Amino acid sequence: MARWGMVIDLDRCTGCGACVAACKVENNVQVVSPAEGERGRRMHWLRLLVEARGEYPHVEVRIAPNLCMMCENPPCTKVCPVHATYRGEDGLVGQIYPRCIGCRYCMAACPYSVKAFNWGSPEWPEALLSTLNPDVSMRPKGVVEKCTFCYHRLQLGREKARAEGRPLRESDYQPACVHSCPADAMTFGDLDDALSPAAQLSRSTRATRALEHLGTEPRVFYLEKRDAPL
Amino acid sequence: MSALSRREFLTTLGAAGVVAASSGWFTRRLFAMAEEGTLRAPRGPGVERWVPTLCRMCPAGCGLRVRLVDGLPVGLEGDRTNPLSAGGLCPAGFAGLQELVHPDRVRTPLRRDGPRGSGRWTPVSWDEALEQIAAPLRASRAEGRPQAFAVLERGDSPLTLYWLERVLRAHGSPNLVVDATGEPWRSAWATVAGTARPPAPDLANADFVLSFGHESLETDGHPVWQTKTWGRLRAPIAARQASAAYVGPRMSPTANHADLKVAVRPGTEAIMALGLVHVLILEDLADRSFLDRLTRGYHDRPGGSGAGGDGFEAYVRSRFGLEEVSRLTGAPVSEIFRLGRAFGTSRRPLALAGPGALSGEIGFATAMAVIALNLAVGAMGRTGGYVASGGAPLDLPPPEEPDQVARRGLSSARVDGAGWATLPLVRQSPAGLAANLAARRPYPLEVLLVHGVNPVHEWPGGKTIEEALAAVGLVAVVGAVADETARVADLILPEASFLEAWQILPPATGIPFDYAGLQQPVLEPIYQSRAFEDMWFDLARRIGGPAAAAVPAGSYADWLPSAAAGLHRAGRGTIAGGPFHARVAGFMEERGWKAPGPQTAEAFWEEFRRSGSWVDAPRGEHSPAELLGDRAERFDLWPERLLADARKLTGTPVADDALYGGARAAAAGAAGHSDHPLHLLLFDTSTLWAGRTALTPVLLEMSGFREDIGWDSWVEIHPETARRGRIQAGDRVRLESPAGSLIARARITPVVPPDAVAMPRGLGHRHFGRFATGVGVNPLALVAPALDRWTGNAILETRVRLTRMPA
Amino acid sequence: MRRFEPDSTRDETLFRPIEQTGARFYLTVSVLVAIILFALVMYTRQVVLGLRVTGMMQPVTWGFYIVNFVFFIGISHAGTLISAILRLTQAEWRRPITRMAEVITAIVLAIGALHPILDLGRPDRVMNVFLFGRLQSPLLWDVTSISAYFAASTVYLFLPLIPDIALIRERGKKHRWLYTFMSWGWQGTPEQWKVLTRAINIMMIVVVPIAVSVHTVISYIFAMTLQSGWHSTIFGPYFVVGAIFSGIAALFVAMIAFRSAFRLQAYLKLVHFQQLAKLLLAMSILWTYFTFGEYLTGYYGGEPEEMKTLLYKVAGRYAPLFWTMVVCNFVVPVVLLSSRRLRTIPGILVSSITVLIGMWLERLIIVVPSLENPRMPFPGRIYIPSLTEISLFTGALALFALGFVLFSKFFPIVSVWEVQEGRALGKEETVERVESYLPDDEVSHAGA
């Protein structure tokens, strides 16, 4: 079983936001009203966390995509009372929408704050309903949702491989965000496959993980910005 | 046992209550889900099909693959095989589907029903609409005034421009006004090299990229291609590494990624560029061999009239001393040296200038200065420097001789004033058009056709443009959603979305190799919208005469394959995504082999449709000669010809020092505005793109996604400025300039200098569909319409006063 | 223990509220019902529109509902715990208090247990907790524990109520059928007394560990996560102490209210208040000790993420609330309850109310600041409760009051038979007990 993981090179990430838009469109994540957005209820499975340090003009802005870390030791699955968030056999932390009771305990427990909650019913303008992705289920109000590493693409990839009578290749499965990145800052693959670029990059000396001291063993690695070659 | 039976009764009652409360019907009503997308699609077997096409949300034209399920588009992603975008996209690309089905798309041609601007329309047929445009054009031609027809065009599609020009030329009007933002760079380059086609930066092979306000990673040039190149150059296991530097007043996202950032006061980039030339001279890092062989004016000024006759080198040394440069730009001398040395000691340095640095009062001088800097390190015509811009060898019908009526019309002055008295050095001037319209200068217009431009919203002085349009006989706007300009028009012609229309896109300027992208429709137009080129062909046929003869029979889609036949005939390059990688094919070709490809033009077209792009790999060898115009042998450091032309056309003497001296004067005079102490810096974001993409909910929600701001504009304010004004994050502030005022929310950030504030363009639409209307504010309300006589562009510079609004 | 017969003809004062209903009762009930109805309307609106009617957002995904959940469950402790412990230690002054304590527990436990359901995004799926429940989750421990406590405390309320119900039945003035039904066939035979006493004894022992587990487990909801400010080993005992503390305060408020409303000065005398006040004072000091330890260790360790939350509470945005809490929970009780002069009923009332406010603030300060300071550089957000959340809070308080008022309408708010038992047997038993403590006579009675 592949150990799916992601490596994000912060030296290359320009913070353009293509990944944010790609994820939203791929996964039918609702757009909330402006008023709701002001109250902090915008729904992003993948967001950019921005930290500006320093004073003008020596300002360093660290932009890091923040998404579900697919922890190997997830704090969120431990606390869910109804097994609606769970760690599946692919090692991906999933979310069972029909079972979630919306207690938001997993959201309080996640140290990365990556889960999103449907505070209200998704209101899709009628005309835009046809643009929804038929591979991803819709969520009603009152349930928690989060990044799934585009699990539906894994399923599609498996079907394709099966139809072609061959085993699943790494190139068959890539989340929408990774595909969209114009800087090639995101690499995705099997962390256990020594030949996979994702695996190699995850072992780079620049590779770190967020909040590593908490022992959650996240599967998303960040390559820190390099010192200026000048 | 009566107690027990009562207990049983109570228990049953309780259980029944719980069951009832959680019964399916009740909860289903309360917790209904939005209908799934599949319910909207035709009920079919769920057959998936992918169509390669191009994204046209911005001028770059990234490769796109649209996913259709049972014939309905349900998703899209970047096209990995596209040689430019290689699978990458920017956020705007993902809104393509939402734009396609936007509820406020115009469905039929609309004719105004009431006074202009009343917002009342009646649907008419295409025949009626086009006839309404053609009739006055036929009449004016018959009266010998074919030039009373102007087209204001976005200009991001060379083939569209070709057909516009061809018909207008046959008809007899010189008035194709293109809203190109590359104008200062283009005209400066034309002055230096004697050719209208600017060069392209060979970023993939550069090792030091110095950007003067060029937001390469955001919205300038071809951002996705630039970001891809950047990504390859910074890959952890890359063969080659590169450094980047940024000069500008605002520490933009592109600046954030630079290894070396030098902050300069707004509008002083030209001075910094000349300061860096000075450093190169002092440190003996200038490419003397190049300067001696290939430039004119470095050591002395040929035919200089008046003072000195100093060459460029002497001029820079004497007038742009480093102390002076530091004083004017605000950058410490040590940093200027550091940057100059880093630039000069690199093997393949390259300097870029972006619209942000070129849209001020001295935009032309800035462009000239940056070109001079490139010349100083010999970055012209070599690998990793500027090389010839790529194109596409498409087959186009040969030009035809205009008839006598047309010739007379073509010789009249352009309505935008370009090439005439006030704008002698300019080819296009949208701002000149705005200025001339109201005064009916140089002659009144019968018809103005507007395509892909929204001047009332996007240009400074929108209100005056609205009023100026009243002077035009008939205003017809081509677009998908009725915007502010459409609202004051007489006719709205619904344009097909890029997902419903055909196009072949040669590379945008700034791509260093030949390429052609194919945009093909993924479905039939869902309303009565039509591709612009089809409208144009029909209109030409209706006008009749030479205009009708200038267009081919049939639709644009019918004609396109014959253009592509030119790619096949060229016998070089490959269709991307084919069995041979473009580099391999180029390698083989250089050694006399030809990579096998389709044998016939028809087969080529089929392959082209399957792939979506064609590319000819960059050649190894470059030479400066490829950048010079036919009649130029050297690069002109002094714009002698320019100044001579200016004197000739205006009849007034222009000071020798007018070009760079103006830059110094502008910078020196920058201080001392007590009423409006802050500079206003305008920038674009990759979600709003100056307003054209601010149409759909997904992008509007992401207006300020890095700033945790959605559905709104904002003002970036330095912490010190905020402290002085007692402004806190989220407060509403008022910005006032001599031209107008607005209210927006404050964002405190150290990326702007203490003497400036910054605002993103794009929002503040008054009419742009239900989602965008009334969202955010338009910073152009603060900019007075002012024309740069060197470039014909609007000057987007202004100063403001900042006050906090009471809560 | 020598049997005694409760007398239904004595202690008229205790039966009067049941048998006579004045205008005040109807007025009180109307006002409370009105508040509750408003809350119900707001809740229905919440179910229809979703939780966006609250002030919660990412990252503050828990707010008033969880704060009040912890608060109400906390109050529930005192009841049964005080009643059980006082019975266990055979403190004679407990007699007029135990009934009120047990009632508080039963009512406020139900209200508290309701709050997580109010907080759910999908309340219609609450059965999932039983169908798919994972015992690994602290919320499940909560459900188990609270269910057990509710069952135990209801039984523990009902058992000592039976003899009083029989008394009302004997008096025969109101709803005879109801009291006959509810008295469960009690005839006051020695057999029945023996069974009842044994049952009460078992329950009073059983209820203590269950009660302790309840609030410990509630604290584990927070302590078992990795949030800064929550992941603390001290939480279990800290919460239990705080619960008992707030519970006693609530008990005091109830005692004072009913004492004045029903004119029970003869039964609830100053000495009762003063004895219980000593317990309140002890809990205040104990609470302060725990709080001090919690913040000192956080501050000393200086771990950045912990410090951020800690400073936010102590010196940042939550500082006014934090120091108000300290004043309410420590300064006021210590000042008013340490000296006999100030340990009066008004003084006790003031202390109790401030303790209730302070303890509510403590719950708020535990839940919200940690969430407002996530570990990742999230854009900062402030939680401000909405009208819906406030109305549900007032509704819950009104429901609590209504439950109490209705209970006092049907059952005696002071345990009649226990007071009478105390009158009859108390002195003798106490003398016997004290004699057993005294040292034996020096003349050896080894054999006698």
pLDDT greater than 80 at residue B44: no
pLDDT band at B619 (very low <50, low <70, confident <90, very high): low
B82: nearest Cα among B488, B612, B657: B612
Best mutation site among A130, A160, A181, A227 for testing chain B: the one with the most B CBs within 10 Å?
A130
Q: Does one domain contain both B144 and B223?
A: no
Question: Which chain C residues are within 8 Å of A112, Cβ to Cβ?
Answer: 375-376
**Residues whose CB is less than 8 angstroms from the CB of residue C297 and which lie 6 or more positions away in sequence, other chains included:** none
Place of tokens 């993924």: B522
- Residue among C137, C143, C381 whose CB faces A79 most closely: C137
Q: Is residue B187 part of a domain?
A: no
User: Which of B18, B29, B30 to probe by mutation at the C interface, max C CB count within 10 Å?
Assistant: B30
- How big is the CA angle at B646 (ends B645 and B650), to the nearest 5 degrees? 120
| pLDDT at B34 (0 to 100) | 47
Token duo for residue B224: 């996705």
Q: Tell me which residues of chain B have a C-beta less than 8 Å from any C-beta of chain C.
A: 3, 6, 18, 21-22, 26-27, 30-31, 708
pLDDT at residue B39, rounded to an integer: 38
Alpha-helical regions (H) of chain A: 18-26, 34-38, 75-79, 105-109, 151-163, 176-180, 197-202
Distance from CA of C127 to the nearest CA of B (A): 8
Range with lowest mean pLDDT among B36-45, C214-223, C261-270, C428-437: B36-45
What is the C-alpha separation between C79 and B740, in angstroms, rounded? Answer: 69
How far is Cα C220 from Cα C216, in angstroms, rounded to an integer? 6
Residue B307 and residue B426 share a domain? no
Nearest to B31 among C124, C127, C181 (CB): C124
pLDDT of amino acid B307: 46
Of the listed ranges A182-196, B617-631, C300-314, C428-442, the least confidently predicted one is: B617-631
Instruction: Tell which residue, C377, C361, C137, has the closest CA to residue C369.
Output: C361
Mean of the pLDDT values across residues B332-355? Answer: 95
- Hey, what amino acid is at C54? T
- How do the domains of chain A map onto residue ranges? 4-223
Integer angstrom CA distances of residue B703 from A34, A125, B114, B769, B776: 11, 19, 35, 16, 9
Write the pLDDT tens digit of every residue in B356-365: 899 888 888 8
| Whether the Cβ atoms of residue B68 and residue B601 lie closer than 8 Å to each other | no
For B484-513, letters b (16+ CB in 10 Å) and e give: bbbbbbbbbbbbbbbbbbbbbbbbbbbbbb
Collapsed DSSP state (helix, strand, coil) of residue C447: coil
- What angle in degrees, to the nearest 10, is found between the helix axes of C12-19 and C387-410? 120
Our measurement of the distance from residue C70's CA atom to the centroid of its chain's CA atoms, rounded to an integer in Å, reads 11
What residue ranges in B647-761 does DSSP mark as E strands? 678-683, 714-717, 732-736, 741-748, 756-760
- pLDDT tops 70 at residue B443: yes
Q: Please tell me the least confidently modeled range out of A62-71, A221-230, B154-163.
A: A221-230
Q: What is the pLDDT of residue A90?
A: 85
d(Cα C99, Cα C42) in Å, to the nearest integer? 33
Give C372-408 pLDDT, tens digit per residue.
999 999 888 999 999 999 999 999 999 999 999 999 9
Q: Report pLDDT for B303.
A: 57
Residue C448 in this model has a pLDDT that exceeds 70: no
Burial B200-214 (b: 16+ CB within 10 A, else e): bbbbbbbbbbbbbbb
The answer to the question of residue B162 being in a domain is yes
Residue B155 sits in the same domain as residue B293:
no
Fill in the DSSP letter of residue B47.
-
Residue B677 DSSP label = -
Q: What is the mean pLDDT of residues B548-565?
A: 95
Chain B interface test: which of A8, A19, A25 (most B C-beta within 10 Å): A25
Q: Answer whether the bond into residue B442 is a cis peptide, omega within 30°.
A: yes
Domains, chain C? 14-422 (1.20.1630.10)
Q: How far apart, in whole angstroms, are the C-alpha atoms of residue C437 and residue C116?
A: 49
Helix (H) / strand (E) element for C67: namely: helix C64-88
Same domain, B659 and B688: no
* Interface mutation vs chain C, best among B18, B27, B707, most C CBs within 10 Å: B27
Q: Touching check for A79 and chain B: CB below 8 Å?
A: no
Domain that holds residue B691: 672-804
Question: Who among C48, C122, C379 is closest to B708 (CB)?
Answer: C379
Q: Enumerate neighbours of A (3 or more CB pairs within 8 A).
A: B, C
Q: What is the mean pLDDT of chain B?
A: 87
Provide the percentage of residues in chain B whose pLDDT is more than 90: 61
- Quickly list DSSP for B124-168: --HHHHHHHHHHHHHHHHHTT-TTSEEEEE----HHHHHHHHHHH
Segment (H or E) for C200: helix C190-223
Angle at C103 between CA C102 and CA C107, to 5 degrees: 120
- Pairwise CA distance, residues B490 & B485, whole Å: 10
Is residue B584 one of the residues assigned to a domain? yes
- How much is the pLDDT for B19? 64
Angle between helices C304-314 and C319-326 (to 10 degrees): 70
Average pLDDT of span A205-209: 94
CATH number of the domain residue B520 falls in = 3.40.50.740
Three-state DSSP state, C115: helix
> How many contacts, defined by CB atoms under 8 Å, are there between B and C?
18
The lowest-confidence range among B42-51, B66-75, B241-250, C96-105 is B42-51
Report which secondary-structure segment, H or E, holds C132.
none
SS3 labels along C168-183: HHHHCCCCHHHHHHHC
Contact partners, residue B686, CB within 8 Å, separation at least 6: A16, A17, A18, B90, B91, B92, B218, B219, B223
Residue B2: predicted pLDDT: 44
Among the ranges B42-56, B519-533, C6-20, which has the highest mean pLDDT value?
Answer: B519-533
| Tokens matching residue B450 | 């507007």
**pLDDT band of B306, cuts 50, 70, 90:** very low
**Distance separating alpha carbons of residues C51 and C368, to the nearest angstrom:** 17
- How far is Cα C214 from Cα C234, in angstroms, rounded to an integer? 15
User: What region does A165 belong to: left with phi over 0, alpha with psi -120 to 50, or beta?
Assistant: left
Residue B669 has pLDDT above 70, yes or no: no
User: Could you tell me the CATH number of the domain that includes residue B58?
Assistant: 2.20.25.90
Please state the domain count of chain B.
5
Residues 646-705 of B with CB under 8 A from A: 686-687, 696-699, 701-702, 705
The set of residues, in sequence order, having a beta carbon less than 8 Å from that of B127 and lying 6+ positions away, is none
Euclidean distance between the first and final Cα of chain B, in Å? Answer: 71
Assess A113–B contact: CB distance below 8 Å, yes or no. Answer: no
What pLDDT score was predicted for residue C21? 85
Token pair 């202690």 is found at C11
Structure tokens at B712: 């709104």
Tell me how far apart the alpha carbons of residues B391 and B570 are, in angstroms, rounded to a whole number: 12
Q: Over the stretch B493-517, which tens digit does the pLDDT of each residue have?
A: 999 999 999 999 998 778 998 999 9
Question: Hey, is the C-beta of A165 within 8 angstroms of any chain B C-beta?
Answer: no
Which of A146, A160, A75 is CA-nearest to residue A116? A146
What chain A residue is nearest to B752 in terms of C-alpha separation?
A56
Task: State which of B344-353, B783-792, C421-430 shows the largest mean pLDDT.
Answer: B344-353
Token code pair at residue A77: 């699955």
Chain C's closest residue to A107, CA to CA, is C61
Count how many pairs of residues, chain A against chain B, have C-beta atoms within 8 Å: 228
Q: What is the C-alpha end-to-end distance of chain C, expressed in Å?
A: 23
Which of B34, B101, B235 lies nearest to residue A130, judging by beta carbons? B101
Structure tokens at B251: 């520490």
**Please, which pLDDT band fits residue B463 given cuts at 50, 70 and 90?**
confident
Contacts of C136 in chain A (CB under 8 A): 78
Residue holding tokens 């050591």?
Answer: B299
* Pair (B440, B371) in one structural domain: no
Within an 8 Å CB–CB cutoff, is residue B106 touching chain A? no
Q: Does domain A4-223 have CATH number 3.90.1150.10?
A: no
Contact C56 A119 (CB under 8 A): yes
B410 in the same domain as B467: yes
Q: Is there a single domain that holds both residue B767 and residue B780?
A: yes
Residue B629 maps to a domain: no
Q: Which of A205, A173, A204, A166 is nearest to A189 (CA)?
A: A173
CB B246 within 8 A of CB B289: no
Alpha carbons B28 and C43: distance in angstroms, whole number = 18
pLDDT of residue B631: 78
pLDDT of B772: 94
Which tokens is B414 given? 């352009």
Q: Which residue in B385, B410, B445, B498 sits closest to B148, CA to CA?
A: B445
Three-state SS for B258-304 is CCEEEECCCCCHHHHHHHHHHHHHHCCCCCHHHHHHHEECCCECCCC
Neighbours of C29 (CB within 10 A): 16
Amino acid in position B77: E
pLDDT the model gives residue B786: 86
Q: What is the pLDDT of residue C389?
A: 96
Q: How far apart are CA C40 and CA C45, in angstroms?
A: 8
A114/chain C closest Cα distance in angstroms: 9
| CB < 8 Å to A178, chain B | none
pLDDT digits (tens, 9 = 90+) for C333-354: 999 999 888 888 899 999 999 9
pLDDT average, residue stretch B140-148:
93
pLDDT tens, position by position, A55-77:
998 999 999 999 999 999 999 99
The pLDDT-based confidence of B424 (bands split at 50, 70, 90) is low
Find the mean pLDDT for residues B329-346. Answer: 95
**A201/B686 Cβ within 8 A:** no
HSE-CB at A194 with a 13 A cutoff on CA atoms is 0
Shared domain for B236 and B290, answered yes or no, is: yes
Q: Of A99-113, B38-52, B233-247, where does the model show the most confidence?
A: A99-113
Question: CA nearest B32 in C: which residue?
Answer: C48
Tell me the per-residue pLDDT of B400-411, one tens digit each, with 9 for 90 and over. Answer: 899 999 999 999
pLDDT(C2) > 80:
no
What pLDDT does B31 receive?
60
More reliable by pLDDT, C345 or B673: C345
User: Could you tell me if B68 and B84 lie in one domain?
Assistant: yes
Helices and strands in chain A, H and E counts: 7, 10
* Mean pLDDT (chain C, rounded): 90
Give the pLDDT score at B423.
67
Q: Which chain B residues contact residue C185 at CB under 8 A?
A: 3
Of B189-193, B479-483, C248-252, the poorest mean pLDDT is in B189-193
Which residues of chain A lie closer than 8 angstroms to B81, CB-CB?
none
Binary contact (C185, B26; C-beta < 8 A): no
CA distance B794 to chain C (A): 37
pLDDT at position C333, please?
94
User: In terms of pLDDT, which residue wins out, B164 or B571?
Assistant: B164
Q: Which pLDDT score is estimated for A217?
A: 95
B50 membership: H or E segment, kind and range: strand B48-54
| Interatomic CA distance for residues B430 and B180, integer angstroms | 8
Q: What is the distance between the alpha carbons of residues C259 and C256, in angstroms, rounded to a whole number? A: 5
Q: Give CA–CA dist B744/C427, Å, rounded.
A: 79
3-class SS at B23? coil
- B445 plus B495 within the same structural domain: yes
In order of B366, B425, B789, B796, the CA distances from B659 in angstroms are: 9, 13, 12, 19
B647 shares its domain with B598: no
Q: What are φ and ψ of residue C276, in 5° steps? A: -70, -30
Q: Which of B16-25, B337-346, B575-584, C363-372 has the lowest mean pLDDT?
A: B16-25
Give the largest CA-CA distance in chain A.
58
B514-519 and B491-494 beta bridge pairing: unpaired
Please, which pLDDT band fits residue B574 given cuts at 50, 70 and 90?
confident
Are residues B758 and B788 both part of a single domain? yes
